[in-house]
Structure 1
């Protein structure tokens, strides 16, 4: 952390020694911070150390580092930084083991039904287990799209920002969202993704976590996928589902007893029971509205977030992008999803 001035630009004064090689670490995530004394307190602005290093590679004593004002540390930037750091290091350290786990999972790919025990991922960090479960379930759903006769409804199990951040940062999940949105874009009926966010889960989540939840749903809305939310805790136990009028594809990986649990059913009583449950959620959604902006504003209210401030910050961050602040090191992560979510919020009326 270094003292900085704000004359319309944030300029941090860097000592000569600190402008050297010690900032440039290939894996360890570091931030260079500039603190500005403001009338109502200290404001802190951040830059990824690798970005700062290249800006100062030929700088001398007393160099000043320009930090974009948009990278002020607040609940939004802190949430994204936390999510990237939370996912990034685990995936980097498990990279080779993830390849081995994927190879071990390959015999399951041709099965109509499977529940892989945690033995297949026992050597992996919890983040890596989430990644492989998510990737397997996405592939499974894709491989069974041919059984769907109409636009499906999706039930997702994410309740907290830590879980929802995977939609924003896992590269394969953004590809999956885009592919599924494109699959049914020509139909007149909109696609819907549903969530269960009980009041207790919201109350015990930090503001940055709640913002990550909203950004994940904004990403879906940006692709033309409508979102719906129930606060009824009775729906917590529902598995991950893709449901049309006659078929159900189950794909559960969050809070599952196994690495994943996937299945397909066309049993009328099973499909009808799930369809009734999801129909009730859709009819009583706490975010119900005819427009994406309306649904997201209702969601912000439910999550006790300041929509006006959030929208202004997202407009700036979406235009600038997060790469200078929170660039992932892992090949399995991308900022494209969170950047798209921010841009979308920023363009809403």
Structure 2
């Protein structure tokens, strides 16, 4: 399979000579990288500085600006420092977050050398994570105070077994912030009602594309929720299972980077001992987000919904039977059926048209470094722990 280019989700804008923006005699190039809009993402721009680099087993970029260290350390906007290595057939680009880059300078002064980890090559994985972090980060930072006010307005609903968060609660929030609020409310709703479950539950998850699935990898509260639920049922005789509906049309409409984000989200769940199952039947796409055992179902929907959230708890026999039949069919006919986490993930990679061996190698490299040097979030509501854990897990599978 041909190695993916990063520019499907990170698009380089027009070049501007560095001397127009930086001190005289600086020969770097200044560019803008576009992190485009998505179904929920608003789109964002990242400032970058581009420098020539060599790769002799380690990537060293030549930094021609004497005060780079001070400028990078104090950078308010997200900025990437790029080193491009020219080969016979293409240019390979490596990147560092500017707030981390100053620590990697080999020597100070003019023509300093910047050491960039080879793991931070811009490709479909790193571009996808940068795309998601940049869009989520920007929205949550801009809406931070409004999110706090919206959460306060939602507090009376927290003690209700059934509620719907109308658009009025989040009318001043952009789409990403609405997602965060709905996701956080639903996670809390499920936690509050775990006591009604008497058996190991089965989960139905509504994410279909990498943009939606990136919330599992990057929302801080979702990783905490996953770990809490995995620990709660770890000693049970049967494993906990999460199920997805991934229709072929959604897969076909997704870029390679989005498909990788989706696979990483599933890998994160598998890394916690949670089994996963996938159906490609689009008829199941209308099911709400839910958690159920043999006697009760907890409804918690926030993705692809008209309202910010819709939650409920039911022991209605007909409702339980309908959901049990649907989820039982999905589990029995999963397109990723296998006895091992590695087998399920490899089968999912094939379904998503991803090169599993290449992906494993890249995840092993990125798992060692983590993404913090490339895509450190600024928002307190985001974390890289989930995507780092997913990469480490894939990288260590046989």
Please confirm whether the aligned pair reaches a TM-score higher than 0.5, indicating the same fold: yes
- The Cα shift of 1:24 comes to 4.1
Q: Aligned partners of 1:103, 1:328: CA distance in 2, in Å?
A: 24
Q: Tell me the equivalent position of 1:129.
A: 178
Q: CA RMSD in A?
A: 1.2
Q: Tell me the equivalent position of 2:195.
A: 146
Q: Tell me the equivalent position of 2:227.
A: 178
User: Alignment partner of 1:115: what SS?
Assistant: strand
Greater relative contact order: 1 or 2 (C-alpha under 8 angstroms, separation 6 or more)? 1
TM norm structure 1:
0.98
Q: Tell me the equivalent position of 1:221.
A: 270
Alignment of 1:1-349 (within 5 A): 1-17=50-66, 19=68, 21-24=70-73, 26-56=75-105, 59-349=108-398
- The Cα shift of 1:22 comes to 3.6
Q: CA deviation digits over 1:177-203, x for unaligned, max 9? A: 000001111111110000000000000
- The Cα shift of 1:58 comes to 7.2
In the alignment, is the contact (CA less than 8 A) between 1:19 and 1:57 conserved in 2?
no
Q: For structure 1, which runs of at least 5 residues remain unmatched after alignment? A: none
Q: For structure 2, which runs of at least 5 residues remain unmatched after alignment? A: 1-49
Q: Aligned partners of 1:27, 1:126: CA distance in 2, in Å?
A: 24
Q: Aligned partners of 2:150, 2:305: CA distance in 1, in Å?
A: 18
Paired positions, count: 349
- The Cα shift of 1:109 comes to 0.3
In the alignment, is the contact (CA less than 8 A) between 1:20 and 1:57 conserved in 2?
no
User: Alignment partner of 2:164: what SS?
Assistant: coil
The 1:26–1:239 alpha-carbon spacing in structure 2 relative to 1, beyond 3 Å, is: farther
Q: Aligned partners of 1:127, 1:77: CA distance in 2, in Å?
A: 21
In the alignment, is the contact (CA less than 8 A) between 1:230 and 1:285 conserved in 2?
yes
In the alignment, is the contact (CA less than 8 A) between 2:107 and 2:113 conserved in 1?
no
Q: CA deviation digits over 1:215-273, x for unaligned, max 9? A: 00000000000010000000111000101001000000001111100001001110000
User: Alignment partner of 2:159: what SS?
Assistant: coil
The 1:30–1:55 alpha-carbon spacing in structure 2 relative to 1, beyond 3 Å, is: same
From the two aligned structures, give the one with the greater helix fraction: 1
Q: Aligned partners of 2:114, 2:162: CA distance in 1, in Å?
A: 56
- The Cα shift of 1:29 comes to 1.1
Runs (4+) of structure 1 exceeding 2 A deviation are 20-27, 53-58
- The Cα shift of 1:59 comes to 1.4
TM norm structure 2:
0.86
User: Alignment partner of 2:114: what SS?
Assistant: strand
In the alignment, is the contact (CA less than 8 A) between 2:67 and 2:109 conserved in 1?
no
Q: Aligned partners of 2:87, 2:99: CA distance in 1, in Å?
A: 27
The 1:265–1:108 alpha-carbon spacing in structure 2 relative to 1, beyond 3 Å, is: same
